[in-house]
Amino acid sequence: MYKTTIFLLPVFLLSLFSLHAQAENKAVYTIGIVPQFEIRHIRKIWNPILNEIKRSTGITLKLVGSPTIPDFENEVLAGNFDFAYMNPYQILLAQKSQGYTPIVRDNGRKLHGIITVRKDSNITSVKELDGKKVAFPSPNALGASLLVRADLQNTYDIKVQPVYVKTHSSVYLNVVVKQTTAGGAVQKTLNQQKENIKAALRVLHRTPKVAPHPLAAHSRIPTSDVKKIKQALLELGENKIGKSLLAKIPMKKIGDASMEDYFPLYKLNLEKFISK
Amino acid sequence: MSIKFGIREKLLAPLIIGLAVIICILFLFVQPTQFKKAKQQFIESQTNIIKTLSPSIISNILANDLAELHRIFENSQLIHKDEWLYIKLLDQEKKQIYPIFTSKPETSDTLIKINFTIEENLEVFGYLTLHTDWKKTKEKELKSIREINFSSILLFFLIAFTSFILQTKWIYTPILKLKEVTSQFSLGNYSENLPTITQDEVGLLSSSIEQMRDKIQNTMNELIDGEQKQRAILDSVPDAIITIDDKGIIQSFNPGAENTFHYMASEVIEKNVTKLMTPEFAAHHDDYIQNYKMTHKSQIIGLQRELYGVTKYGEQFPIELTINAKTIKGKTLFTGVLRDITERKKVDRLKSEFVSTVSHELRTPLTAIKGSLDIITNGLNLELPEQASSMLDVASRNVERLLTLINDILDVSKLESGEINFLLEDIKINSFIEDCIELNQEYAKKHKTKFVCTQCENDAVVNADKDRLTQVMSNLLSNAAKYSPSDVPVEIFTTIHAKKLRINIKDYGPGIPEEFQSVLFEKFTQSDSGDTRKVGGTGLGLSISKMIIEKLGGSIGFDTIVGKETTFYFELPINNEQ
Secondary-structure percent of chain A, ordered helix, strand, coil, rounded to 5: 45, 20, 35
CB distance B95–A177 less than 8 Å?
yes
The span from the first CA to the last CA of chain A, in angstroms, equals 40
Domain co-membership, A103 together with A221: yes
- Using the Cβ of A144 and the Cβ atoms of chain B, whether some distance falls under 8 Å is answered with no
Q: What range defines the domain where residue B285 resides?
A: 237-340
Mutate to test the interface with A, among B66, B70, B97 (most CBs of A within 10 A): B66
Domain boundary among the residues B173, B192, B211 is at B192
Domain co-membership, B312 together with B353: no
Q: Chain A residue with minimal CA distance to B102?
A: A196
pTM of the shown model: 0.49
d(CA B337, CA B322): 5
pLDDT at A21 over 60: no
Considering just the CA atoms, what is the radius of gyration of chain A in Å? Answer: 20
Residues of B in contact with A165 (CB under 8 A): 63-67
pLDDT, one tens digit per residue, over B312-350 is 998 999 998 888 888 888 888 889 999 888 888 888 788
The interface residues of chain B toward chain A in range 223-282, judged by CB-CB distance below 8 A, are: none
Domain co-membership, A62 together with A14: yes
Q: Which residues of B457-480 are buried (b: 16+ CB within 10 A; e: fewer)?
A: ebebbbbbbbebbbbbbbbbbbbb
8 Å CB contact between B246 and B337: no
Predicted-complex ipTM score: 0.70
Task: Name the CA dihedral angle for B20, B22, B24, B27, rounded to a multiple of 10 degrees.
Answer: -130
Domain co-membership, A99 together with A43: yes
Q: Is B208 within the bounds of a domain?
A: no
Of A211, A207, A215, the closest CA to residue A234 belongs to A215
Q: Is B199 within the bounds of a domain?
A: no
**Domains in chain B, number:** 4
**Domains in chain A, number:** 2
Domain co-membership, B115 together with B16: yes
Mean per-residue pLDDT, A239-254: 92
d(CA B471, CA B476): 9
Domain co-membership, A74 together with A149: no
- Is the backbone peptide bond immediately before B99 cis, with ω within 30 degrees of 0? yes
Domain co-membership, A7 together with A85: yes
Domain co-membership, A95 together with A169: no
The interface residues of chain B toward chain A in range 44-73, judged by CB-CB distance below 8 A, are: 63-70
Amino acid (1-letter code) at residue B137: T
d(CA A105, CA B237): 154
Domain boundary among the residues A168, A187, A206 is at A206
* B183 alpha carbon, distance to own chain's centre: 27
Mutate to test the interface with B, among A119, A138, A167, A170 (most CBs of B within 10 A): A170
Alpha carbon separation from A135 to A139, A141, A144, A167, A176 (Å, rounded):
10, 12, 10, 10, 11
Domain co-membership, B290 together with B349: no
d(CA B249, CA B343): 29
d(CA B264, CA B278): 19
8 Å CB contact between B321 and B243: no
Average per-residue pLDDT in chain A? 88
Task: Name the CA dihedral angle for A237, A240, A246, A250, rounded to a multiple of 10 degrees.
Answer: 110
Note the pLDDT of residue A16.
46
Domain co-membership, A195 together with A247: no
Q: Chain A residue with minimal CA distance to B67?
A: A170
Note the pLDDT of residue B356.
76
Give the CATH number for residue B547.
3.30.565.10
Domain boundary among the residues A167, A187, A206 is at A206
The span from the first CA to the last CA of chain B, in angstroms, equals 71
Domain boundary among the residues A153, A180, A206 is at A206
Q: Is B206 within the bounds of a domain?
A: no
pLDDT at A202 over 70: yes
Note the pLDDT of residue A18.
46
Domain co-membership, B30 together with B152: yes
Domain co-membership, A246 together with A217: yes
Domain boundary among the residues B291, B315, B340 is at B340
* Closest residue to B96, CB basis, from A135, A168, A177: A177
Domain co-membership, A7 together with A105: yes
Whether the CA torsion B49, B52, B54, B58 is positive or negative: it is: negative
8 Å CB contact between A151 and A117: no
Domain co-membership, B59 together with B123: yes
Alpha carbon separation from B457 to B439, B440, B454, B506 (Å, rounded):
19, 20, 9, 17
Give the CATH number for residue B383.
1.10.287
CB distance A178–B95 less than 8 Å?
yes
pLDDT, one tens digit per residue, over A100-133 is 999 999 998 888 999 999 999 999 999 999 999 9
Domain co-membership, B361 together with B325: no
What H or E segment, with its residue span, contains residue B517?
Answer: helix B514-517
Domain co-membership, B4 together with B142: yes
Alpha carbon separation from B447 to A164, B390, B482 (Å, rounded):
178, 21, 6
Q: Is B444 within the bounds of a domain?
A: yes
Q: Chain B residue with minimal CA distance to A193?
A: B67
Domain co-membership, B23 together with B83: yes
Question: Over chain B (578 residues), what is each successive 10-residue block's mean pLDDT?
Answer: 75 88 89 89 92 92 89 89 89 89 80 92 92 87 86 89 88 84 81 73 84 87 90 86 90 90 91 88 80 73 82 90 85 88 86 79 85 82 82 86 83 78 88 90 90 85 90 91 90 89 92 86 64 59 89 90 92 78
Percent of chain A with pLDDT over 70: 91
Long-range contacts of B210-216 (CB under 8 A, 24+ apart): B213/B185, B216/B185, B216/B190
Q: In this structure, are strands A182-186 and A133-136 parallel, antiparallel, or unpaired?
A: parallel
Strand partners, A62: A30
Residues of B in contact with A178 (CB under 8 A): 95
Give the CATH number for residue A26.
3.40.190.10
Strand partners, A196: none
Domain boundary among the residues B340, B359, B374 is at B340
CB distance B64–A135 less than 8 Å?
yes
**Residue B110 carries which DSSP code?**
T
* Closest residue to B67, CB basis, from A169, A178, A196: A169
Confidence grade of residue A24 (pLDDT, cut at 50, 70, 90) = low
CB distance A167–B96 less than 8 Å?
no
What H or E segment, with its residue span, contains residue B251?
Answer: strand B250-253
- B334: Cβ–Cβ under 8 A, 6 or more apart, which residues? B243, B244, B245, B246, B289, B323, B324, B325, B326
Task: Name the CA dihedral angle for B422, B427, B430, B435, rounded to a multiple of 10 degrees.
Answer: -50
- B50: Cβ–Cβ under 8 A, 6 or more apart, which residues? B114, B116, B128, B130
- Using the Cβ of B96 and the Cβ atoms of chain A, whether some distance falls under 8 Å is answered with yes
Alpha carbon separation from B295 to B289, B292, B299, B319 (Å, rounded):
10, 5, 11, 27
CB distance B100–A173 less than 8 Å?
yes
d(CA B215, CA B221): 10
Q: Is B200 within the bounds of a domain?
A: no
Q: Is B493 within the bounds of a domain?
A: yes
Domain co-membership, A16 together with A101: yes
pLDDT at A5 over 60: no
- Is the backbone peptide bond immediately before A250 cis, with ω within 30 degrees of 0? yes
Domain co-membership, A97 together with A38: yes
CB distance B64–A197 less than 8 Å?
no
pLDDT, one tens digit per residue, over A225-244 is 999 999 999 999 999 999 99
**Residue A210 carries which DSSP code?**
B
Of B248, B300, B296, B297, the closest CA to residue B274 belongs to B248
Domain co-membership, B296 together with B432: no
Domain co-membership, B179 together with B114: yes
pLDDT, one tens digit per residue, over A63-98 is 998 888 889 999 999 999 999 999 898 899 899 999
Domain co-membership, B142 together with B29: yes
Q: Which residues of B19-30 are buried (b: 16+ CB within 10 A; e: fewer)?
A: eeebeeebeeeb
DSSP B372-402: HHHIIIIIS-----HHHHHHHHHHHHHHHHH
Alpha carbon separation from B72 to B63, B65, B68, B69 (Å, rounded):
14, 11, 6, 5
Note the pLDDT of residue A135.
95
Note the pLDDT of residue A19.
46
B61: closest CA of chain A, how far (Å): 9
- Using the Cβ of B316 and the Cβ atoms of chain A, whether some distance falls under 8 Å is answered with no
Domain co-membership, A56 together with A178: no
Q: Is B520 within the bounds of a domain?
A: yes
Domain co-membership, B288 together with B144: no
Alpha carbon separation from A177 to A135, A172, A173, B187, B517 (Å, rounded):
12, 9, 6, 103, 149
Q: Chain A residue with minimal CA distance to B90?
A: A177
Note the pLDDT of residue B117.
94
- Using the Cβ of A120 and the Cβ atoms of chain B, whether some distance falls under 8 Å is answered with no
Q: Chain B residue with minimal CA distance to A177?
A: B97
d(CA A216, CA A32): 10
Confidence grade of residue A219 (pLDDT, cut at 50, 70, 90) = very high
- Using the Cβ of A141 and the Cβ atoms of chain B, whether some distance falls under 8 Å is answered with no
Q: What range defines the domain where residue A30 resides?
A: 2-109+211-272
Residues of B in contact with A196 (CB under 8 A): 100-101
